[in-house]
Structure 1
Amino acid sequence: MIPNGYLIFEDESFLDSTVAKMNALRKSGQFCDVRLQVCGHELMAHRAVLACCSPYLFEIFNSDAEPHGVSHVTFEDLDPEAVEILLNYAYTAQLKADKDLVKEVYSAAKRFKMERVKQICGDYLLSKIDSQNAISLRNFASSMGDGRLLGKVDAFIQDNLLEVSEQEDFLKLPRLKLEVMLEDNLTLPSNGKLYSKVLSWVQRSLWENGDHLERLMEEVQTLYYSPDHKLVDGGLVIEGHSEVFGGEEDHLQFVQKKPVRESTQRQMSCSSSGSLSPSNQAANVPKQTARREWKYIASEKTANNIYLCLAVLDGVLCVIFLHGRSSPQTSPSATPCLMKSLSFEAQPEELEEHPLSPMHYARSGLGTAALNGKLIAAGGYNREECLRTVECYDPKEDHWTFIAPMRTPRARFQMAVLMGQLYVIGGSNGHSDELSCGEAYDPHADEWAQIPELRTNRCNAGVCSLNNKLYVVGGSDPCGQKGLKNCDAFDPVTKTWSNCASLNISTCPHSTIYFTKFCTHDLNCQTFNLIDGVSELGRHQAAVCELDGFMYAIGGAESWNCLNTVERYNPDNNTWTLVAPMNVARRGAAVAVHAGKPVTGTWVIWEHF
């Protein structure tokens, strides 16, 4: 067609032919004037083409001191295959990537500022989202700083939290466990207000009190929800105080009354070096808020006053388990936490109290045992540190001395004496990791030696010697989600572990299953893993002792639910039998045999908070 004397011709195949030839020239290295060094791989290309597709590379090329020379651009953190895919796209307008490379292509497109490719990759990832990959995709979106992708992933998690919570990625997330004590006839506020208060509590714990997030997660944190709808520190209620740090406001002004740690004191004393004083530290809270992300993502009320939440705390994706507990008098399975109880399950003669010499180190979650007429206290937590040190108390001298330290720092474990040696098994190393290793202490040589490892990493397990063998009963699984029911026996002669009978299986009349594994009809049912009406009852933080040739596992907890049940192990037929339950459910209690009396008069059990 020739209007007005001009020749106009459109060659529909020219563009496709040209870009194909240009891409062929790139791959053969002809006329190329830029080299991309990507993790040891060299990729050739033409500056003009890349500058048109990538604003990032345009800026680099435009600032070259020698624009007519061959440019070298190095990338040490990108995938060579992903960059090759982007080069093909730059020349052909076709994006073709294997599904396993889409995230790498996204990362490279982000660096090159190729927004259209980022969006296409993000949409593809969203089209493949399911409960199994939601957490890993959220972590990726967060690392990329993609608010659009992050928002859509969070929306998916909000709609499918229970399914997501059953996946391996979710179970590996850090966990914060909270118990909120409730007066009778009170319920917790709605999810939004509830977790706004929780996030504020964590912020104040970190910033005003010098806590670390890892430390908060090592133990269950106890709070108290008052009848006037205010949240107070459970420790203050125990001590008889009533100081209130928050009310109906969404943001709770919460300060835990704990002593300032030595490391914090040292930092504050060096004002000349720029460290913060307490007042300056509080004044700088807004600046810290801006540095890290704090976000409530999703939550589910899985049973009466039991909540599961996913949130970002100080930039860390975390799971929050929250359990609202009623007054302990409502049920023998409830945990008595609001009063310091002096009750015991025995009838010993009247006990006289008098202060003894203190240990050299403050310890929580430690192991104790009697050895050669002396008391041994080993490991435990001392604020920031998981301890290796071991102290020995002589009751005749009322004096503590150090003995050889353990080879491994550990806490949340029990220990026992077997054939004249002291054994420590499992526990936690202070980094949220459960241990499988164990050690034996020889008092004559004053040294510790490793013993064969357990088959299962565990902490909060019961340990007891019986018939020249060492038994490890229950404990917490490596994910910390449930109590274990399996038990193991160690033979010090052959130095081998063997399985023994598991703790009892009881029957629940209800069959509904929720993530928390509590029976939704009756939270006092003390059940776990409900399958066709049968549940496995596991225990952690149980008290374990030997009496008259039997081993007793007393109380403890299964997930959130404290137990008042007691089981007795008979080594002759390798069986556990349920015996009379305690009057009060307990976890983390201590047990001792007193005067060899029958069951009703042999246990002295003190509450532990």
Structure 2
Amino acid sequence: MAEIIAVNISATSATFFLPPSPVLEDSGFPLASLDSEDYVFVEARHPNKVLEGLNSLRLNNAFCDVTLCCGGQEFPCHRIVLASFSSYFQAMFSTDLMESRQERVAINGVESQMIGMLVSYAYTAEVVISKANVQALLAAANLLDVMAVREACCRFMERQMDEMNCVGIHCFAEAHSCRELEKRSMDYILQHFGSVCQQEEFLSLCADKLTEIIASDHLNVAKEETVFEATMLWLDKSATRRQSFEKVSVETTVNAVVPHLSVC
């Protein structure tokens, strides 16, 4: 049997001189607190690798400690991941709410497919926004307080805006408190009123919203008669709208008459 020999290497037996290592300025460490020979290693891929690892665990249902239930579908997750990307879940899991102790949590009022997409986003930082899903996705992101996805949906809708859908986008933005999209869509309506007023969405406006539009000082029309004609089209769309005639016609009359009044 071979003899095992313990070798003790003295610290003074060999001396190695290493050049000072660079300190990464974007490492998050204050430079004043680091020795000139310190080396701060930052792995740029680490955040993505951690997400990939967490997503792999989720897909394999490993260490999952909560299951989101929506529309008959179930989504096993990790509480810490949900809480890290959504203040809605952070509040849910860090308070005395009943859900903080439950292994199964029901999510109501949104489409199950959108919950699945947001869960996937939490673990991948990616989500596909399309014309077909943008409104449902925004509504879900709004409910769960996922602001990055909410704002991405708003930007997508703004890029898709035209005279045919700007009224619908405005009403949707108003309903979900998307103030910037609400303002931009209203600006579009006012700027392109001549073509917008000929679209089906315009004819579906409620009386209050129609009044708000035609009473705006920023309404852009080549001639005031356009406002009157648009209002008449709106009134003719439904017999029940005749009861709104007085309120709407006042604004229409003001817009049509005031520009032609001369100062005495």
TM-score w.r.t. the length of structure 1 is: 0.30
Which residue in the other structure is 1:24 paired with? 56
Q: Is 1:320 matched with 2:231? A: yes
From 185, 191, 209, the equivalent of 1:153 is 185
Does structure 1 retain, via aligned residues, the 8 Å contact 2:118–2:141? yes
Distance 1:44 1:431, change over 3 A: farther
Work out the percentage of aligned pairs sharing the same amino acid: 24
Does structure 2 retain, via aligned residues, the 8 Å contact 1:57–1:112? yes
Equivalence map 1:30-179=2 (5 Å)? 30-64=62-96, 69-173=101-205
Q: Deviations over 1:386-406 (max 9, x none)?
A: xxxxxxxxxxxxxxxxxxxxx
Distance 1:28 1:432, change over 3 A: farther
Q: CA deviation at 1:116?
A: 2.5
Q: CA deviation at 1:117?
A: 2.2
Q: Aligned with 1:156: secondary structure?
A: helix
Q: Aligned with 1:99: secondary structure?
A: coil
Q: Aligned with 1:100: secondary structure?
A: coil
Does structure 1 retain, via aligned residues, the 8 Å contact 2:110–2:136? yes
2: CA distance between counterparts of 1:138 and 1:71? Answer: 39
Which residue in the other structure is 1:10 paired with? 42
Q: CA deviation at 1:61?
A: 0.7
- Look up the equivalent residue of 2:67 and give its one-letter code: R
Which fold has the larger relative contact order, with Cα–Cα distance below 8 Å and residues 6 or more apart in sequence? Answer: 2
- Look up the equivalent residue of 2:128 and give its one-letter code: K
Q: CA RMSD in A?
A: 3.5
Q: Aligned with 2:129: secondary structure?
A: coil
Distance 1:300 1:20, change over 3 A: same
Does structure 2 retain, via aligned residues, the 8 Å contact 1:175–1:320? no
Q: Deviations over 1:115-152 (max 9, x none)?
A: 23222211111011011111111121121122211110
Which residue in the other structure is 1:589 paired with? none
Does structure 2 retain, via aligned residues, the 8 Å contact 1:36–1:75? yes
Q: CA deviation at 1:27?
A: 2.5
Distance 1:67 1:73, change over 3 A: closer
Q: CA deviation at 1:88?
A: 2.3
- Look up the equivalent residue of 1:320 and give its one-letter code: T
Distance 1:300 1:117, change over 3 A: same
- Look up the equivalent residue of 1:94 and give its one-letter code: E
2: CA distance between counterparts of 1:58 and 1:42? Answer: 20
2: CA distance between counterparts of 1:22 and 1:175? Answer: 51
Distance 1:309 1:13, change over 3 A: farther
Q: CA deviation at 1:158?
A: 1.1
Equivalence map 1:375-390=2 (5 Å)? none
1: CA distance between counterparts of 2:240 and 2:151? Answer: 38
Q: Deviations over 1:319-343 (max 9, x none)?
A: 6349xxxxxxxxxxxxxxxxxxxxx
Q: Aligned with 1:73: secondary structure?
A: strand
2: CA distance between counterparts of 1:119 and 1:432? Answer: 36
Which structure's residues are more often helix, by fraction?
2
Which residue in the other structure is 1:481 paired with? none
Which residue in the other structure is 1:544 paired with? none
Which structure's residues are more often strand, by fraction?
1
Does structure 2 retain, via aligned residues, the 8 Å contact 1:299–1:309? no
Q: CA deviation at 1:68?
A: 7.9
Q: CA deviation at 1:19?
A: 0.7
| Moved >6 Å (runs of 4+) | none
1: CA distance between counterparts of 2:240 and 2:47? Answer: 60
Q: Aligned with 1:108: secondary structure?
A: helix
Q: Is 1:308 matched with 2:218? A: no
What is the aligned residue count? Answer: 204
Does structure 2 retain, via aligned residues, the 8 Å contact 1:33–1:69? no
Equivalence map 1:520-539=2 (5 Å)? none
5+ long unaligned stretches in structure 1: 177-197, 200-292, 311-318, 323-427, 434-609
Q: CA deviation at 1:59?
A: 0.8
Equivalence map 1:170-569=2 (5 Å)? 170-173=202-205, 296-297=215-216, 299=219, 303=223, 306-308=225-227, 320-321=231-232, 431=240
Q: CA deviation at 1:308?
A: 1.5
TM-score w.r.t. the length of structure 2 is: 0.65
Does structure 2 retain, via aligned residues, the 8 Å contact 1:299–1:307? no
